[in-house]
Amino acid sequence: MKYSIVIDEFMRVYGAKKPLKIYERSVIRRGGCIFFLIREDIEKKLVIICPFKYTLPERFIPEEEGIFKFRDKNLRYIVCKCDGENALALRRMFTFTRPRPLGLTPTIGLGDRIGIATPGHIRAIKGFGLLPVLAQQSIREIQRTGRTLREVLDGVSWAVFQEGYRMGFAADADHLKREEDVEDAFQAGFTMYTVDPSDYVDSEADNYPVSVLRERFNGLPWSEMGIGIERFLKVYLKKRLTLYLPDGKIRELRFSEENLMRAAVKFSNAILFIVRVYRRLKSLFGRRRFDFEVSIDETESPISALEHFFIVSELRRFGVRFHGLAPRFAGRFEKAIDYIGDLKEFEENFLMHVLISKALGPYKISIHSGSDKFSIYPIVSRLAPDMVHLKTSGTSYLESLRVIARHEPNLFREIIKYSLKCFESDRRSYFTSADPKSMPNPDDIPDRELERAFLENSSGRQILHITFGSILTARSEDGKWLFRERIKRVLLDNEEEFYETIAAHIRRHIEGLFGQK
């Protein structure tokens, strides 16, 4: 380590009262100064060492400053909190800590709910030639974790700096369901926008009798759709899309009047919502690029080939440029456990989406709730290794609980009991088949069996996964965090093990999808 003598001298002078750790990968020289990250007890801090008379190019706000002598020279040290203000200065100074658009590169979304897992995510993707979406937060998760979009991004910028990671990453404002949320995400600096129009999908459209269907169809907001009924029918009834299947067979997609009306009634309002969000983003970003994903993964039934064809044709008609589409696939994608369903059916379904995306795009097929779906990765990797985005979010929270189970078994037991209490109300916004009654009493399980009993069991994984928000925001009667700080402390006390546990788990996903390094 080149600057180690200067840093050693600083450490001696600084005389920390609490145990101090230096993040070696963070050390970087810029404009005559040395920047690096330290941790004092459980608080991370940025240290800047610079010549005595020196004005820093960015406005870092010091918490503590001092002078020390090094080889006859006076050096100044500045210790800064890793807070939001300093994160702004950090991003201005070091461009690699800023998110950026990633376009059509294969990507993996790695949401971090605890807010300290990102170094593990960065270690997982190293050497694989894919890029990560490190800051990824849905509005739903904001409500559940009590963290703002800015805080999520700030945490990621510090983590990227800590690991010295320079390859680039994106920040995804996930599952945007209201136009006004776009503004917040933009202000926070997000570069990727996942629009979720599910509130505007008419899921009854498949069941309307033809007379009702026609009435609804005629009643669509044609003027906002910018086309007349006659013209719409004419354009779509003529449309063809030929798909060339790998076995040499050909499949042609075309609309009958009835299935066109069903697709239009089901999705037209959703498409208009997507268009409004897109236009708002365009006006905010101007000529700068951003990544745009359309998620229709939370609809009631799987998206058919014809529906996919219709949605994308409409988006193209409106000039919406998007990088990814997340369809609802056949089968069940429950959180934190493997795919439930017929693999053959998934394969046919996935192949068809890929073929349409190649013919009309290309754009990436995005797989939401993508963590732990080990049985489908070989299929995805065979059919579309280079055009996929795998979105995961809660899985690193679960993996971090392993570290808790190993080092603080009693805290882990408390978490389980609390999660079981909250499960019935927390489960409402999720598809889950978890059965809390199948869980043993954690007091009956010996310490070294805890991981196996709860984290390698599908009900246990889902219950713990779904209740993350309740755990992370629970407070005792005197207003103190019930678990949040204790979880953080155990993880930071075992920091390397924590990062490696997460990295190992995420790496299994990446190897399944993108092959070995």
Catalytic residue positions, numbered: 174, 293
Nearest distance from C-beta of residue 112 to Zn ion, angstroms = 17
Q: What is the largest CA-CA distance in the chain?
A: 91
Residue 391: CB minimum distance to Zn ion, A: 7
Q: Which range binds Zn ion by CB under 5 A, 237-245, 343-351, 365-373, 509-517?
A: 365-373
| Candidates 117-125, 234-242, 294-302, 348-356; binding stretch for Zn ion (CB under 5 A) | 294-302
Contact with Zn ion (CB under 5 A): which of 297, 307, 399, 408?
Answer: 297
Please give the C-alpha separations between residue 298 and each of 13, 17, 349, in angstroms, as whole numbers. Answer: 56, 51, 16
3-state SS string for 328-393 = CCCCECCCCCCCECCHHHHHHHHHHHHHHHHHHCCCEEEECCCCCCCCCHHHHHHHCCCCEEEEEC
Q: How far is the CB of 146 from Zn ion (least distance, A)?
A: 21
| Two structure tokens written together for 307 | 């529906």
Structure tokens at 3: 């600057």
Contact status, residue 50 vs residue 75, Cβ threshold 8 Å: yes
Q: Cα dihedral angle (458, 199, 308, 99), rounded to 10 degrees?
A: -70
The nearer residue to Zn ion, 165 or 333, going by C-beta atoms, is 333
Least gap, CB of 369 to Zn ion (angstroms): 6
Closer to Zn ion by CB, 123 or 368: give it.
368
Q: How far is the CB of 333 from Zn ion (least distance, A)?
A: 9
Asked whether the beta carbons of 471 and 419 are under 8 A apart, the reply is: yes
Choose among 466, 513, 174, 199: nearest CA to 370: 513
In the bound state with Zn ion, the residue whose beta carbon lies nearer, of 52 and 431, is 431
- CB of 119 or CB of 324, closer to Zn ion: 324
Q: Tell me whether strands 62-70 and 73-81 are parallel, antiparallel or unpaired.
A: antiparallel
Q: Which residue is nearest to Zn ion (CB)?
A: 368
Q: How far is CA 85 from CA 136, 186, 264, in A?
A: 20, 17, 47
Stretch that binds Zn ion, among 106-114, 250-258, 289-297, 432-440 (CB under 5 A): 289-297
- With tokens 């456990």, the residue in question is 337
List, edge to edge, every strand of the sheet that includes 73-81: 20-30, 33-40, 43-51, 73-81, 62-70
Q: For Zn ion, which residue of 368, 389, 461, 465 counts as binding (CB under 5 A)?
A: 368
Give CA separation, 394 vs 66, 81, 156, 305, 469, in Å.
42, 27, 16, 30, 10
Q: How far is the CB of 326 from Zn ion (least distance, A)?
A: 6
Compute how many residues bind Zn ion; rule: CB under 5 A. Answer: 2
Report the nearest approach of Zn ion to the CB of residue 174 (Å): 7
* DSSP β-ladder status, 131-138 and 170-176: parallel
Applying CB under 5 A, which part among 126-134, 139-147, 292-300, 494-502 lies near Zn ion?
A: 292-300
x/- site string to Zn ion, residues 315 to 354, per CB under 5 A?
Answer: ----------------------------------------
Type and span of the H or E element at 40: strand 33-40
Segment near Zn ion (CB under 5 A), from 12-20, 293-301, 332-340, 342-350?
293-301
DSSP strand pairing (73-81 vs 20-30):
unpaired
Binders of Zn ion among residues 218 to 237 (CB under 5 A) are none
Residues that bind Zn ion (CB under 5 A): 297, 368
